[in-house]
Structure 1
Amino acid sequence: MVSTAHILFSILAGLALWCGPGWLVARAVMISRVPAILLAPALGWAVQNMAVLALAPIIGLSLSSILLVTALVCVGAPLLRSARTALPTTDAGARLLLPALAVAALLACIPTAAILPKVDADGAIALAAPIYDHAKIALIDEIALHGVVPPANPVFGAGGAPGVISYYYLWHFGAAQLVILTGATGWEADAAATFLSAFAALALVAGIAFRFRPSAMAPLLALAAAASGSLRPLLASLFGAARVDQVIEPATGLAGVLYQASWSPHHVASASCVVLAVWLLAQMRTRPSPGAAVVLALLIAAGFDSSLWVGGATFALAGGAAVLMLAAHPPSEGRGRFLALVAAAALGAGVLVAPILLAQLQVAAARVGGPPIRIEPFAVLGPAVPAGLRMILDIPAYWLLLLPIELPAIAFAGSVGLVMALRRRHGTYRLAAALGTLSLGALAISAFLVSTAGENNDLGWRAVLPAVLVLSGFAGAAIASVVQRQRWLAMGAAALLIAAGVPDSVVLATGNLRGVRSVDGETLPGDPALWAAVRREVAAEVRIASNPGRLEQLTPWPINLSWALLARRRSCFAGPEMALAFAPLTPQQRAEAANLFARVFDGTGVPADLAQMRLNFGCGAAVVTAQDGAWRSDPFAASPLFRLAQEEEGRWRIYVAVTQPGTAP
């Protein structure tokens, strides 16, 4: 089902694919005392992915095209260096950082564990809750299998057409490159890409700490702060979970980097791009160069193409504020050149993101929804606070209650570290001011803006990520400073805050490693054989009808993970949850489609339902399993639209269409 060897091989391939170009680009354009090895994973991921994505519509996506573009990036990286700049980033002191890189790799295993299946002694499979958000593995398989950019929509295509994919898919595009390079499955590549995204973000955290406190200790302390979780488990043990939930709303997706990397590593990758972009902006204020502007454009584009909320809305507002702050800051010399290069980078990024942006606008118009973002305070306080006061008190509670509870190790120490850096009026001041502006802006966006495009406030949850990375680095620098100065009280307070969040990190790691057992976990081990049979009978471009609610107890929310993780075939309707993210359908259309497929696979469908599936949804094949109600009352068996292609007694039936779309039944 999933091979650990394939995952490890994919991780090594990803390190070579992204760290090599990233190291060369960092040495060429990043004027910093931070060794390039810390910046290389995130920087290389952004530059190489955007370069391949930009050229893939012209030269295709294949092993040879990936290697060719990667080689061009490596050859072109030294050309980005400007003779007018100071000495570029070197790897002096890199040996000091090897322990930090090792710790970052170990911590990155925690979110990676959430993706892996857990097999018990009886052969049943348990999956961790975050696998629900990784159902987008279907997109990785779609890109890798067809090698076409922009990819077809694996979830829905009207009448069986390829359809339009509106999701910000660069992260999944990167994982698809790993599939093409190594022969891994989409599931295995997703696990590898999750590790690499978490590792790159943590290496960047270590780099921020090292920049503001050059020592071996600061990066390690920054990683400790980043790995520390919420105070909720501690508060629940002290006061009782019920009382805590009365005072403050239950936990949401607003959390630290390990939690967010477990659920949505593409948002974490986008946050790394945003932080690097602001870092580069601070450098360009005094050392503007065309090469840096090129890299800036690639970082901005990679951030947006990985996350509409982090690299789009958050960077546009918080990153824009950082640009204005840098432009207003003295000296006036070079200000015009700085703004001109920033404008050029923004224009270049706009050209690069245009395909995904236009697709998102097209699908948003088709859904006929309201504004995707509205102004509303983040919901913090629980039912113990009167509803009339909640909207007002939620504003200070976000800053004084929610952030210290969810991010205790960095909310205090990170703020102190930022203030300490700002007090130095030379050297790192401009970088500290830019990163501080980004962090404050990101937190303010989370506090006051709410996304309405989906069922969750993804903007509020994900916008904090750039601040989490930056403040983790500042926290490490601050704690290292007080340790060096032997400020025992401050050291004790920092250690206490980090330790208080450890129980939550342990809960996360344990949940990711153990998973959740369910009755459907006994069925899943047999499904690789099912989908292998489907692939033998059904061509790659044919859309398949399968029960969207099959094995729904594998996750906390119903979704057909069996299809998403294993099929490597397009669905004609993969369920309302997947359609919400991918399909250009209104809420009413999603509900009608969900009801249609539910009827058919419950066994209560009528011939008109099958005709609608064939004509309107373009279902060229169908899979009925023993877990479906249709197994005992099979509407496909008597339908003239489908013929039985293959049957495994007591397990599955595979049907293929016998008419063309548009042909009357």
Structure 2
Amino acid sequence: MPSLSLVALCIATGLVLWMASGYALARSLAFDRAVALALAPVLGWAVQNALALLLSLVVGFSPVATVGAVALICAAGLLRVRRDGSGSDHRIPPLTLWVCLAAAVMAAGPALAVLPKFIGDGVAVAPALFDHAKIALIDQIVREGVPPVNPVYGGAEAPAGVAYYYLWQFGAAQLAQLTGATGWEADAAASWLTAFSTLLLMAGLARRFSGRTLASFLAIGLSGLGSLRPVLAATVGEETLAHWLQPATGLAGWLFQTSWSPHHVQAAGCVVVAAMTMVRLARQPGALTTVTLALLAAAAYESSIWVGGVVFALAAAGCALFLARSRPARSRPAGGAGTFLLLGGIAAVVALAIASPLLVEQYRSAVARGGGRLIAIDPFEVLGPALPQPLGRVLDLPAYWLVLLVVEFPLVYLAGAIALARMAARPDKRPDTGPDTGPDGPLVRALAILAAASLGTGWLLVSTTGVNNDLGWRAVLPGLMVLTAAAGAGLARCMERRAALPLVLAMAAATATLPDGLRLAAENLAGKPSPSATAFARSPALWQAVRRHAPPDARVASNPALFADMTPWPVNLSWALFADRRSCFAGNELAIAFAALSSERRTAVAEQFRRVFAGDGTPDDIRALARTHRCDVAAVTVFDGAWSHDPFAASPVYRLAETEPGLWRIYVAGPRMAGN
């Protein structure tokens, strides 16, 4: 089970790696001290990870690549600072440190979702841990380096590589390698670091918008709010609500999304910082800014194809056109709009080159899956069955903006949109040579374009590669970050001016959405007990035994539905968290994201594994496990139907290697059987 001391060590290591390098780089890009501190963890994470992955592909995954990337960033930053003197004052305002402390405390909420909860002699987990089954990929990278081999499926008909956007897992793997932590411990630490870095970014933006430190604390507090749905259900009844409104989905606020999918949240942070860097590039064209923008864009894409690919591509195009038309006067001697667009184009080409290994794998995966569109135009479904079709689908278009966003993010969306619109409409009253505090017209407008592109993408586009609309759910994240910062700034102004009506409405919205945020936080803290809690707590011994017979590059067959009652959807968490070995088929839920199989073939493989571990497997099924799916080792437990009707025992393909009476049997494939 995870050690809290190793989780803390991973967090400290991440702060050293990414805060230090990010702060040095932000100061070299001429951001002031407070803004540089706010940008540091996201900026450092993006640039260091993108560089370290490149170096790892050349020299191998090792501390040399990790530390080398940090050294390159710090050297570039120090050279720039020494040349222009932009970073001579390193003192940080005391109030900024209190903001960091507030962000650190709030960041514990998502991190708790990853950690186990000990109940007697059993273990409970939070529902969000289902999406952290990708911990198996962290262990895979630590064990065998990059580019990673697919840990979820190893069949002969699929590419061996990983097409999933894995830079976030790569970052966690660096922490695990440097500290000796497990993938589970590194994932918990990386979740905290993602939460902390994005909170600090929103807090810094709020202060940048308003010039008030109070806005930073408000932005952090707003991040912990939830949806209006529980209050609406209690008011009108769950049946009535379901009649008029579609059920809740993964389109949710910062706390929910960071708990479930921190890699998408990290990508959103990269996109926001990339937009800010585009503004800096328009003002001060230069090589370092261009390269930084390229690395930010690459890191965003390699963390989330939906946020860093689709949303940023749309937003960057809009921001580039706006910035090219509104370049400040002081930047004209360094070059006109053509220079800015040229450097932006160079950054795009460099970003594509950096991300090319992942792009190639995704192309191979798309071919193996049978091609087809990744994205379709299909407005987000909002309204329930109370309205007849097609009227309901037509009304979904305005209902997204007027109903759904209000229900899911009432205070952030409404207060943030109003504050952002007012700041964007305000004429510039000071020269651009002023300090980085207070409203900044070009920056505000660029971020407003980003917010519009972000929410608009979720409105009209859907992803078609999986069961869920991951694009629609995750696309809103950059926009929510901008709106959260704007809402914090707007509320801080209202408090300063003692504007009674806006503050009363804000208090009512906060009161109505706080229960949902507290529910999610409590769920992350306490988890959900299951009948498998005791057996799950004992499963590390099983996987320790498996590793005795499975070399590091071996693939293991185990029941994909083992302990499936521990998570909202069936996944074998014991394999994902404890095995430290590849699976030959880790189940349908993980195969959707990782396995380059058509839906028909994926369903057939899932059914074959179900038969085998239910005890209904045929000799042909067992031969297929060894020859087609390349299962080198098989683990049968007392919880499997195969325990009493064991198809491996009678097969000449596998031999019994170890047994623990009443608990498990471990079989090993005969010579050359798994590969032929």
Question: Residue 542 of structure 2 aligns with which residue?
Answer: 530
In structure 2, C-alpha distance between the alignment counterparts of 1:577 and 1:619, rounded to whole Å: 19
Question: Residue 67 of structure 1 aligns with which residue?
Answer: 67
1:7-22 maps to which residues of 2 (within 5 A)? 7-22=7-22
In structure 2, C-alpha distance between the alignment counterparts of 1:242 and 1:369, rounded to whole Å: 40
1:160-239 maps to which residues of 2 (within 5 A)? 163-239=160-236
Equivalenced residue count is 661
Q: CA deviation at 1:331?
A: 5.3
- Contact 1:228 1:499 survives alignment (8 Å): no
Q: CA deviation at 1:34?
A: 3.6
Question: Residue 106 of structure 1 aligns with which residue?
Answer: 105
- Contact 1:82 1:289 survives alignment (8 Å): no
User: Which of these residues, 398, 408, 411, is aligned with residue 409 of structure 1?
Assistant: 411
- Contact 2:42 2:266 survives alignment (8 Å): yes
Question: Residue 348 of structure 1 aligns with which residue?
Answer: 350
Question: Residue 37 of structure 1 aligns with which residue?
Answer: 37
Question: Residue 139 of structure 1 aligns with which residue?
Answer: 137
Question: Residue 617 of structure 1 aligns with which residue?
Answer: 629
Question: Residue 26 of structure 1 aligns with which residue?
Answer: 26
| 2:287 pairs with 1:285 | no
Structure 1 length as normaliser, TM-score?
Answer: 0.96
In structure 2, C-alpha distance between the alignment counterparts of 1:386 and 1:37, rounded to whole Å: 52
Question: Residue 437 of structure 2 aligns with which residue?
Answer: none
Indicate how the Cα distance of structure 1 residues 81 and 322 shifts in structure 2: closer, same or farther if over 3 A, else same. farther
In structure 2, C-alpha distance between the alignment counterparts of 1:474 and 1:501, rounded to whole Å: 18
Shifted more, 267-276 versus 654-663: the winner is 654-663
1:502-651 maps to which residues of 2 (within 5 A)? 502-651=514-663
Question: Residue 420 of structure 1 aligns with which residue?
Answer: 422
Q: CA deviation at 1:663?
A: 7.7
In structure 1, C-alpha distance between the alignment counterparts of 2:116 and 2:82, rounded to whole Å: 49
Q: CA deviation at 1:369?
A: 4.3
Residue 103 of structure 1: SS of its match in structure 2? helix
Q: CA deviation at 1:584?
A: 1.0
Identity of aligned residues (%): 46
Question: Residue 463 of structure 1 aligns with which residue?
Answer: 475
In structure 1, C-alpha distance between the alignment counterparts of 2:403 and 2:82, rounded to whole Å: 47
Q: CA deviation at 1:160?
A: 10
- Contact 1:30 1:280 survives alignment (8 Å): no
Residues 253-276 of structure 1: per-residue CA shift (max 9 Å, x gap): 111111100010000000000000
Residue 633 of structure 2: SS of its match in structure 1? strand
In structure 2, C-alpha distance between the alignment counterparts of 1:172 and 1:608, rounded to whole Å: 36
- Contact 2:159 2:364 survives alignment (8 Å): no
In structure 2, C-alpha distance between the alignment counterparts of 1:342 and 1:220, rounded to whole Å: 34
Residue 374 of structure 1: SS of its match in structure 2? strand
Structure 2 length as normaliser, TM-score?
Answer: 0.95
In structure 1, C-alpha distance between the alignment counterparts of 2:82 and 2:509, rounded to whole Å: 44
- Contact 1:35 1:89 survives alignment (8 Å): no
- Contact 2:28 2:86 survives alignment (8 Å): no
- Contact 1:35 1:93 survives alignment (8 Å): no
Task: List structure 1 runs of 4+ shifted beyond 6 angstroms.
Answer: none
Residue 382 of structure 2: SS of its match in structure 1? coil
| 2:443 pairs with 1:443 | no
1:51-62 maps to which residues of 2 (within 5 A)? 51-62=51-62
Aligned partner letter, 1:56? S
Residues 105-157 of structure 1: per-residue CA shift (max 9 Å, x gap): 11111111111111112x121111111111111000000111x2111010112
In structure 2, C-alpha distance between the alignment counterparts of 1:90 and 1:412, rounded to whole Å: 38
Q: CA deviation at 1:80?
A: 4.7
In structure 1, C-alpha distance between the alignment counterparts of 2:366 and 2:81, rounded to whole Å: 41
Question: Residue 371 of structure 1 aligns with which residue?
Answer: 373
Q: Which blocks of at least 5 consecutive residues in structure 1 are unaligned?
A: none
Residue 656 of structure 2: SS of its match in structure 1? strand
Shifted more, 432-441 versus 282-291: the winner is 282-291
1:306-321 maps to which residues of 2 (within 5 A)? 306-321=303-318
In structure 2, C-alpha distance between the alignment counterparts of 1:187 and 1:506, rounded to whole Å: 25
Q: CA deviation at 1:56?
A: 0.3
| 2:271 pairs with 1:269 | no
In structure 1, C-alpha distance between the alignment counterparts of 2:325 and 2:65, rounded to whole Å: 43
Residue 622 of structure 1: SS of its match in structure 2? strand
In structure 2, C-alpha distance between the alignment counterparts of 1:33 and 1:524, rounded to whole Å: 48
Question: Residue 256 of structure 1 aligns with which residue?
Answer: 253
In structure 1, C-alpha distance between the alignment counterparts of 2:570 and 2:155, rounded to whole Å: 23
In structure 2, C-alpha distance between the alignment counterparts of 1:82 and 1:431, rounded to whole Å: 27
In structure 1, C-alpha distance between the alignment counterparts of 2:458 and 2:88, rounded to whole Å: 33
Residues 67-97 of structure 1: per-residue CA shift (max 9 Å, x gap): 233223222222355968x946965653122
In structure 1, C-alpha distance between the alignment counterparts of 2:462 and 2:23, rounded to whole Å: 37
Residue 49 of structure 1: SS of its match in structure 2? helix
Aligned partner letter, 1:373? I
User: Which of these residues, 421, 432, 448, is aligned with residue 444 of structure 2?
Assistant: 432
Residue 671 of structure 2: SS of its match in structure 1? coil
In structure 2, C-alpha distance between the alignment counterparts of 1:293 and 1:586, rounded to whole Å: 40
Residue 119 of structure 1: SS of its match in structure 2? strand
Question: Residue 128 of structure 1 aligns with which residue?
Answer: 126
In structure 1, C-alpha distance between the alignment counterparts of 2:402 and 2:505, rounded to whole Å: 17
Residue 285 of structure 1: SS of its match in structure 2? helix
Residues 326-348 of structure 1: per-residue CA shift (max 9 Å, x gap): 11225584211111110111011
In structure 2, C-alpha distance between the alignment counterparts of 1:545 and 1:364, rounded to whole Å: 26
In structure 2, C-alpha distance between the alignment counterparts of 1:601 and 1:127, rounded to whole Å: 24
In structure 2, C-alpha distance between the alignment counterparts of 1:89 and 1:444, rounded to whole Å: 42
- Contact 1:33 1:211 survives alignment (8 Å): no
Aligned partner letter, 1:29? L
In structure 2, C-alpha distance between the alignment counterparts of 1:380 and 1:67, rounded to whole Å: 48
Residue 634 of structure 2: SS of its match in structure 1? strand
Residue 125 of structure 1: SS of its match in structure 2? strand
Question: Residue 304 of structure 1 aligns with which residue?
Answer: 301
- Contact 2:52 2:68 survives alignment (8 Å): no
Shifted more, 431-440 versus 7-16: the winner is 7-16
